[in-house]
Structures are given as structure tokens and as C-alpha cells.
């Protein structure tokens, strides 16, 4: 197969640099489908220079005109929806249904950006003092950068650049080197929508490209989504270099199941939360805390549901229920974590480790796995697994379940399944997590609400998405105005 081309997009030109590359896989087959350029300072400097040069004209373009580009972009993304989903599915391994869901979430972020003329409204107060008025304006920052993870090749970049650009900034995107092709397709469509050259740029690569962005004096703000150690590094390095930074990290999300939970619906939701996208979601429900009799009520049906999940390649018409994980190394990492849990005394209720996929034997597969009697001190309980593995921890009451949830270093999401309003209210009030679900397994927020991770799941002040993101991508100016006496042309008194 001829590998898919993977050029950078700088100053409106698609250029394939010479030099080192990293392989891009189709995780369903294990085949190399492209070679991602390993960009560094030279490419980043060129992209930032292009973005800097494009900033004056783009930032002076009226907000309604900028919004029109995104109305066209929205239409183009919709027209190319299947192509985007297939590209994301091919390089990531998620099923087409999962790709559709996530590209749709991205599309909603474009729709949100289309509302930028009203999102940029400031406040005014007349007669702050006698004859003195005050107003706030929201103005763009300049060149912003986005650094994205592999697990949502379209959605996460779309969390960032549509709003940043609609607010009047210019942008350099550094996508995950594991899934660069979807990002390029998003860039192609943005170019077709009529965005002026240099306003949006893509530089591919790994750490050298990231470091060049973090230290470049003209980059004003950095949005990052990825694992916790890198999020921390991005936040510390970016802020040390005077940049505004929002950095989303990893997660370990707990789902508490009360004895009165609706069993069939909870099983369905939990199964999707744990095994959807092969568990490669920052909002995956990776630990079920069963309270009292919930374990006996729920686990038999949950194990049956997990065993029924069909694993297979996602790049052909017959779609499986679950695709592969991203790389062979990542599969081995997940296997190691499960083995460590077993060694430390946990029991495997459903073992997906030996899954066979005869029509794609070189793909990176794991079957749905449920590990029972996981204890808080185990590595498996503390580390983000990011695979189709559900830990089960058994507790006697809600207080202990909340206590356990709150011990986690992460604070992305948490959910409770119950029919008790009182239990739900207690949980919502006391749980230490930024996104809470009540009978909702994956409470990931939509475009108009911020994506509010806490603790080691987020470093920064203003979150991605919603009004907080508008604040992140703009700086406020407050003007206080007073007019004296009668100036020339001051005819109103006559």
C-alpha cells in the first residue's frame, strides 16, 4: 500500500519536510499507513512566523466575517463527515460508530464558534461615576498553539482551534504523531472554507516541536490535552516562558453503583463507559465501586455483557463492537497492569487478554476485561490504564465509596447510579471531580460547557470549551470614559 502523505501546513502551503519520521499505524491490522514528520524548531519557527504575519489582518476582520468562515467550515465538515470518521477510525482503531460520535462532538465546537459575535460581547456600566461610563472589551491574544493526544484525532483539535480562531487569534496545531492524518484533513477543510493563509498552521512531530512552541516568544497561549506527566510539564514550561496555559491531563474515573440502581440500564452504561473506544477515553469509567448488595445484583449481567463484546478490525464494512488499542507497546503496557493486579491479589472475572482476531492477526487487540476485588493500594487501582479494563472495588456504604473516590490523585469525572435522590445529592455535593454524572456513565461536557477536570487531570485556570475558553483565548480591556464640556461639533445643546 502507498503510504498516505503527511505534510505540514505552514503559511497556507502543504510541505513535506526532509528528515526523520515516525510510523503511523493502522492499529486494526498493524500495518504502517503513513510516516509522520518529526518537526522541530525550524518548522515551528516558520509556522509561528506565518501565524504572526497573519494576525494583524485576521484580528481586524469583523467577528461576523470570522464567524462566516466557521459557518462554511461547519458545512464542509458535515459534507466530509464520513471521510473524517473513516480517517480517524483507520489511524486510531475506534469503530465507525465511535468515530461518528466524536466527530459530531467536534462539530458542535465549530457550531459554538459560529456564535462568536455574541460570545465576544463585553459589559458596560453607564454612570460608573457622574458622567463616567465603563466598558469591557475582549480582544484576541495573538498566536496560540494546540498540542493534542491520540485518542480523539478530530474532536480534541476541534475543542481548540475553531474558537481560538473565531476569537481573532492565529493558531499552530501540533497533533499527536500517532494520528496526524485526521488533523491534516481538518486543516484541508479549513483552507477550503476560505481562511486566509497563515491563520491556521499544522506542524507535526513530538517533543522537539512541543518544546519549540513552549519556548517561542511569540506564542501567547498553549492548549494541551494528553497524559498527566506531560500536562504538568507543559504547564510548568509554558508558564515559565510567560504563556497562558490550559493543560488537561489523564484520569481515573470512578462509577459508584448503589444497591437500588436499575440493573439493565446500569450494566449498559457501565459497559459503554468502561469498554467504549477500547477504554481509551479520559472520561472512561474505569473503576466500578459497588456498594453493598450492588455487586451481587450487577456483576453477573456485567460479565455476560463484557463477554459478548465482539473485538475486531474497524477498517472494513462489518464493524465490531470494539476495536484495537493504539499500539502494540500500549497493549503490552495494559497487559502488564492487569498482571500486576492479579499478582497483588485481585481476581479476573472476565479475561480479555487472550483475545484472538483471526482475520487481523497483527492488530493490537485486547478483549474486555473485568478485575474484581481491586484494592486501593494496587498499581492497577492508582494508574490510568487507558485500555478496556474495568476494576471493581467493593464498599459497604456510600460514605466509604465517596471517600475512596476522593482519594484519587485525578479529578476528571465521577458518576453514581442510583434511584435515590438523597444518595445522588450527597455524591454530587461531596465528590472531588470536575464532571459528575448521575445515572450517566460518561459525563463529558458538550461544547457550551467547560471541560472541568480537577487536580492532576488539569493544570491551569480557564478550562477548554464554553465561556471559560472564550476568556482563555482573549484578553480583557476595560475602558473608563468621561467627556468634558462642549467640544467643536458639540451641537446637541443648541
Contact status, residue 34 vs residue 52, Cβ threshold 8 Å: no
> Which of 112, 275, 386, 473 touches ligand NAD (CB under 6 A)?
386
Comparing CB distances to ligand NAD, the nearer of 151 and 184 is: 151
CB of 316 to ligand NAD, least distance (A): 25
CB of 284 to ligand NAD, least distance (A): 8
Contact status, residue 25 vs residue 31, Cβ threshold 8 Å: yes
Binding of ligand NAD by 171 (CB under 6 A):
no
Three cell numbers, residue 146? 494546540
Contact status, residue 385 vs residue 352, Cβ threshold 8 Å: no
Region binding ligand NAD by CB under 6 A among candidate stretches 49-57, 203-211, 291-299, 399-407: 203-211
Region binding ligand NAD by CB under 6 A among candidate stretches 150-158, 190-198, 286-294, 366-374: 150-158
Binding of ligand NAD by 207 (CB under 6 A):
yes
Binding of ligand NAD by 255 (CB under 6 A):
no
> Which of 37, 149, 313, 411 touches ligand NAD (CB under 6 A)?
149
Comparing CB distances to ligand NAD, the nearer of 66 and 105 is: 105
Comparing CB distances to ligand NAD, the nearer of 148 and 391 is: 148
**Residue 276 DSSP label:** G
Binding of ligand NAD by 412 (CB under 6 A):
yes
Pure H helices in 136-291:
155-166, 180-192, 207-215, 228-240, 263-275
CB of 206 to ligand NAD, least distance (A): 5
> Which DSSP string corresponds to 89-136?
HHHH---HHHHHHHHHHHHHHHHHHHTHHHHT---EEEEEETTEEEEE
Kindly report the backbone phi and psi dihedral angles of residue 487, in degrees, each rounded to the nearest multiple of 5, phi listed first. Answer: -85, 175
Pure H helices in 315-396:
328-343, 379-382
**What is residue 138's three-state secondary structure?**
strand
> Which of 405, 457, 465, 474 touches ligand NAD (CB under 6 A)?
457
- Nearest-angstrom CA–CA distance, 225 and 467: 18
Comparing CB distances to ligand NAD, the nearer of 203 and 267 is: 203
Comparing CB distances to ligand NAD, the nearer of 320 and 434 is: 434
The strand pairing partners of 13, in sequence order, are 10
> Which of 6, 44, 225, 366 touches ligand NAD (CB under 6 A)?
225
> Which DSSP string corresponds to 304-322?
HHHHTPPB--SSSSS--SB
Binding of ligand NAD by 410 (CB under 6 A):
no
Kindly report the backbone phi and psi dihedral angles of residue 325, in degrees, each rounded to the nearest multiple of 5, phi listed first. Answer: -90, 175
Binding of ligand NAD by 384 (CB under 6 A):
yes
Can you give the C-alpha Rg of the chain in angstroms?
A: 24
- Number of residues in contact with ligand NAD, rule: CB under 6 A? 29
Comparing CB distances to ligand NAD, the nearer of 10 and 385 is: 385
Binding of ligand NAD by 226 (CB under 6 A):
yes
Residue 45: count of CB within 10 angstroms of its CB: 15
> Which of 36, 190, 245, 251 touches ligand NAD (CB under 6 A)?
251
Binding of ligand NAD by 102 (CB under 6 A):
no
Kindly report the backbone phi and psi dihedral angles of residue 135, in degrees, each rounded to the nearest multiple of 5, phi listed first. Answer: -145, 150
CB of 159 to ligand NAD, least distance (A): 8
Contacts to ligand NAD from residues 277-306, by CB under 6 A: 282
Binding of ligand NAD by 230 (CB under 6 A):
yes
Q: Write down the catalytic residue from 6, 144, 277, 282.
A: 282
Binding of ligand NAD by 99 (CB under 6 A):
no
**Residue 335 DSSP label:** H
- Helix axis angle for 207-215 and 228-240, nearest 10°, is 30
- Nearest-angstrom CA–CA distance, 45 and 41: 6
- Nearest-angstrom CA–CA distance, 231 and 46: 25
Binding of ligand NAD by 203 (CB under 6 A):
no
Comparing CB distances to ligand NAD, the nearer of 384 and 455 is: 384
CB of 399 to ligand NAD, least distance (A): 28
CB of 435 to ligand NAD, least distance (A): 9
The contacts of residue 234 (CB under 8 Å, 6+ apart) are 147, 210, 214, 222, 224, 226, 245, 247, 459
Residue 472: count of CB within 10 angstroms of its CB: 25
Comparing CB distances to ligand NAD, the nearer of 259 and 453 is: 453
Annotated catalytic residue 277: no
Region binding ligand NAD by CB under 6 A among candidate stretches 21-29, 32-40, 174-182, 335-343: 174-182
Contacts to ligand NAD from residues 21-60, by CB under 6 A: none
Which residue's entry shows cell 479476573?
A: 348
Q: Which residues bind ligand NAD (CB under 6 A)?
A: 147-152, 156, 174, 176-177, 206-207, 210, 225-227, 230, 233, 248-251, 282, 384, 386, 412, 451, 453, 457
Residues with catalytic annotation? 282
Amino acid at each position: 500500500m502507498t503510504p498516505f502523505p503527511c505534510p505540514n501546513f505552514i503559511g497556507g502551503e502543504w510541505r513535506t519536510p526532509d528528515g526523520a519520521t515516525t510510523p503511523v499505524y493502522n492499529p486494526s491490522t498493524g500495518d504502517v499507513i503513513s510516516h509522520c514528520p518529526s518537526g522541530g524548531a525550524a518548522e515551528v519557527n516558520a509556522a509561528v512566523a506565518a501565524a504572526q504575519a497573519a494576525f494583524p489582518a485576521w484580528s481586524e476582520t469583523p467577528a461576523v466575517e470570522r464567524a462566516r468562515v466557521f459557518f462554511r467550515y461547519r458545512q464542509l465538515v458535515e459534507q466530509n463527515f464520513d471521510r473524517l470518521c473513516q480517517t480517524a477510525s483507520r489511524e486510531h482503531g475506534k469503530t465507525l460508530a465511535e468515530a461518528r460520535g466524536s466527530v459530531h462532538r467536534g462539530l458542535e465546537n465549530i457550531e459554538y464558534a459560529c456564535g462568536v459575535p455574541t460570545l465576544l460581547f463585553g459589559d458596560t456600566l453607564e454612570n460608573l461615576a457622574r458622567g463616567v461610563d465603563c466598558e469591557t472589551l475582549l480582544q484576541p491574544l495573538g498566536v496560540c498553539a494546540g498540542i493534542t493526544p491520540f485518542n480523539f484525532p478530530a474532536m480534541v483539535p476541534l475543542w481548540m482551534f475553531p474558537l481560538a480562531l473565531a476569537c481573532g487569534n492565529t493558531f499552530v496545531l501540533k497533533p499527536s504523531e500517532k494520528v496526524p492524518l485526521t488533523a491534516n484533513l481538518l486543516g484541508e477543510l479549513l483552507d477550503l472554507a476560505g481562511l486566509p493563509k497563515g491563520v491556521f498552521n499544522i506542524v507535526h512531530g513530538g517533543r522537539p516541536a512541543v518544546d519549540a512552541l513552549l519556548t517561542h516568544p511569540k506564542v501567547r497561549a498553549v492548549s494541551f490535552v494528553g497524559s498527566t506527566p506531560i500536562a504538568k510539564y507543559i504547564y510548568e514550561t509554558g508558564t515559565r516562558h510567560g504563556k497562558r496555559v490550559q493543560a488537561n491531563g489523564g484520569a481515573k474515573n470512578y462509577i459508584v453503583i448503589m444497591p437500588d440502581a436499575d440493573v439493565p440500564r446500569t450494566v449498559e452504561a457501565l459497559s459503554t463507559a468502561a469498554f467504549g473506544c477500547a477504554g481509551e477515553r479520559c472520561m472512561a469509567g474505569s473503576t466500578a465501586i459497588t456498594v453493598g448488595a450492588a455487586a451481587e445484583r450487577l456483576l453477573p449481567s456485567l460479565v455476560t455483557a463484557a463477554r459478548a463484546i465482539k473485538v475486531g478490525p474497524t477498517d472494513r464494512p462489518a464493524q465490531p463492537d470494539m476495536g484495537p488499542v493504539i499500539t502494540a507497546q500500549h497493549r503490552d503496557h495494559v497487559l502488564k497492569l492487569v498482571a500486576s493486579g492479579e499478582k497483588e491479589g485481585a481476581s479476573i472475572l472476565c479475561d480479555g487478554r487472550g483475545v484472538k482476531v483471526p482475520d487481523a492477526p497483527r492488530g493490537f487487540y485486547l478483549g474486555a476485561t473485568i478485575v474484581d476485588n481491586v484494592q486501593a493500594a494496587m498499581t492497577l487501582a492508582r494508574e490510568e490504564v487507558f485500555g478496556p479494563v474495568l476494576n471493581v472495588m467493593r464498599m459497604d456504604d456510600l460514605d466509604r465509596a465517596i471517600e475512596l473516590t476522593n482519594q484519587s490523585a485525578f479529578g476528571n469525572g465521577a458518576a453514581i447510579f442510583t434511584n435515590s435522590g438523597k444518595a445522588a445529592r450527597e455524591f454530587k455535593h461531596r465528590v472531588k471531580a470536575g464532571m459528575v454524572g448521575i445515572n450517566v456513565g460518561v459525563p463529558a461536557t458538550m461544547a457550551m460547557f467547560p471541560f472541568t477536570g480537577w487536580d492532576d487531570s488539569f493544570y491551569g485556570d480557564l478550562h477548554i470549551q464554553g465561556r471559560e475558553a472564550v476568556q482563555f483565548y482573549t484578553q480583557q480591556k476595560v475602558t473608563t470614559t468621561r467627556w468634558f464640556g462642549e467640544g467643536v461639533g458639540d451641537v446637541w445643546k443648541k
